[in-house]
A and B are shown apart, each in its own frame.
Chain A
Amino acid sequence: MDLSAINPVLFVAGFLVAATPLIFAAVGELVVERTGVLNLGVEGMMIMGAICGFATAVETGSPLLGFVAAAVGGATISLLFVFLTQVMLANQVASGLALTLFGLGFSALMGQSYVGVKPPRLGDVDFGPLSDIPVIGPILLTHDIILYLGLALVAAVWATLKFTRIGLVLRAVGENHDAAHALGYKVVRIRTAAIMFGGACAGLGGAYISLIRVPQWTEGMTAGVGWIALALVVFASWKPWRVLAGAYLFGGITQLQLNLQGAGVAIPVEYLAMSPYVITIVVLVILSADKSAAPGSLGRTFHASS
């Protein structure tokens, strides 16, 4: 055992990167669920974002354009879910699963010619002399712009939900869509916008994996991050800052177990692998004292006639 092999600064900087795709996907899904829609298609939207972003970045040579395309791609594919659940009033769980399966297959098809291609790199933001500050500099100020965008997104979603009229309407639709409808709010329209926002966020998260974290394109490369994001929203009891904390916890534990193994600590990997889920359960039990339960209309189909 040689714990000194673990460099805490690099470790923290590493898990900030590992958590970023999760933050994007989970914050997007949080907004969707706050409007009362359960979209299990996060994984499918992420992988679509991963390939759309990758392909665009390779073709244009601009990683930032890639991220724009990823957001557009994720939002576009989410329209499929919108059509099924908001127009055809299909079951949300089944539609979400279908979206995931469709996204995985369709992205593999789209990505056929991108296997083995190297994407252009997105450089780190230059903070000048600030990044030389000991400990804080290397941890916080050596990342790419998208990572900071993720943090800003959490803050923006939190502020919007808490302080703005849009946030109030959005939550009202999620808590009781019939009441919101009676007040004259366009439930379907608001939900459609939220689902597309969620799709765009998931797409950004996927592109973060294919353009920055890995970076390359391979089929199925999101490897379950979308599902963890779904769990994370529940873990965070539909609160943005808790999503952030949870993402760092999940991302951090994955990094920690790899670091510990490298340092030769003999903790059975299985314990570490399941620990995020165990912690989720424990946290859920603790939070059950908290009255912030799931949005009242979560997963229920809305139709103006009912």
Chain B
Amino acid sequence: MKFTKLMTGAAMAMALATGALADGHAKTKLGFVYVGPVGDGGWTYEHNKGRLAVEAEFGDAVETVFVENVAEGPDSERVMTQMALDGADMIFTTSFGYMDPTINVAAKFPNVKFEHATGYKRADNVSTYSARFYEGRAIQGHIAGKMTKSNTVGYIGSYPIPEVIRGINSAFLHARKANPDVQFKIVWAYTWFDPAKEADAAKVLIEQGADVILQHTDSTAPQAAAQEAGNVITFGQASDMAQYAPLPRVSSIIDDWAPYYIARTKAVMDGTWESTDTWDGIGAGMVGIGEISDAVPADVKAEALALKASIADGSYMPFTGPIKKQDGSDWLADGETADDGTLAGMNFYVEGIEGDIPQ
């Protein structure tokens, strides 16, 4: 079975290669592996927008394929292998859980370039890229702290990985700065995409007194739940989710992958592609802040925009000391900023957050 599959794949790759030669010009073939459906309205939706932007930019010179709803684990390895066998020049793997599979498959296909989103393992033909979402979360944390009346902010986490913990810490630090009484209630959904579970998590948080819901999962179900509850605000995650504006969605963090995807595709075409580690934020435009709606008071909106501007021009770093860890030990001294290595591997809460990170 496996052997026939391999043979079919190889045959298809050969056919593609010869077909391209017959054309006289070789198309650059790009593969995209998505963790959710392209219609999720959030994370995968934005990656797919990036893919479409690449197609729009290069037209017939590129050919893109994508597979959605690919489970993190052996399934993803199979999908990547198939893409490589089908002649992909570069494969974007767009979820943290694809990290090890990407490295494994990359080792088998040294001539194929791999781009892994949000991971930290690289190889000669594996680049990593991510966006500094925590910069956006600082702004949302500020708005959350100012807007909450119950002083309880609910946070739907996906998996307890550094990416998510960093977002919680950033949002919490800035919510506390805006409002010293604010408390975070954190619920782990253990999924990136499960609308029913996300809706349940949002409802539970609202029942337990939260009037602001932050999420690090991919669907718009929490927005729908907040809308039903009334008097609860939310933020768009990964995508603008503007259909829920002006309430409950009062602002959003938007991932804009298009410029990066276009640049990397160009590098493959030019033969200048190299393994790099890209981590851009608001300044570089990889992280966008969706419109802050009129539901937010004008002064809070102005503060949020000032915070955004100071992060964008580099004059302010969201993790600037003094900051202690949850257990009370010192982390950053006054004025000290966190280095990327610590941020990338962040596995602790900052002081003031209640609860433990699930191990």
Contact = CB atoms under 8 A, between A and B. Distances in A.
Contacts of B195: 209, 214, 216, 218, 221, 223
B201 interface: yes
Given A209-B196, A214-B221, A11 B355 contact: no
Interface stretch (A183-191, A196-204, A257-265): A257-265
Given A218-B219, A223-B196, A7 B207 contact: yes
B85 to A, nearest CB: 22
Nearest to A116: B243
Interface string A152-193: 000000000000000000000000000000000000000000
Interface size class, chain A: 35 or more
Interface stretch (A32-40, A83-91, A107-115, A230-238): A107-115
**Which of B191, B221, B228 has its CB near the most chain A CB atoms (within 10 A)?**
B221
Nearest to A119: B224
A269 B39 contact: no
A214 B199 contact: yes
Contacts of B355: 261, 264, 266
Nearest to A10: B207
Contact of A262 (B194, B205, B358): B205
B187 interface: yes
Contact of B200 (A112, A221, A258): A258
B33 to A, nearest CB: 16
B69 A221 contact: no
A18 B204 contact: no
Interface in B200-215: 200-201, 203-205, 207-209
B196 A259 contact: no
Given A116-B220, A214-B224, A264-B354, A258 B204 contact: yes
A19 to B, nearest CB: 11
Interface string B20-45: 00000000000000001101110000
A44 to B, nearest CB: 14
A273 interface: yes
Given A14-B204, A116-B243, A258-B187, A219 B39 contact: yes
Contacts of A118: 224, 243
Interface in A95-121: 108, 111-112, 115-118, 121
22 contacts: A5-B185, A6-B208, A7-B207, A11-B207, A116-B243, A213-B200, A215-B228, A218-B41, A219-B39, A220-B36, A220-B193, A221-B195, A258-B187, A259-B207, A261-B186, A262-B185, A262-B204, A262-B208, A263-B208, A264-B185, A268-B359, A270-B190
Interface of B: 36-37, 39-41, 68-69, 154, 185-188, 190-191, 193-197, 199-201, 203-205, 207-209, 219-221, 224-225, 228, 243, 354-356, 358-359
Q: Which 5 A-B pairs have the closest CB atoms?
A: A219-B37, A115-B39, A258-B204, A223-B194, A10-B207
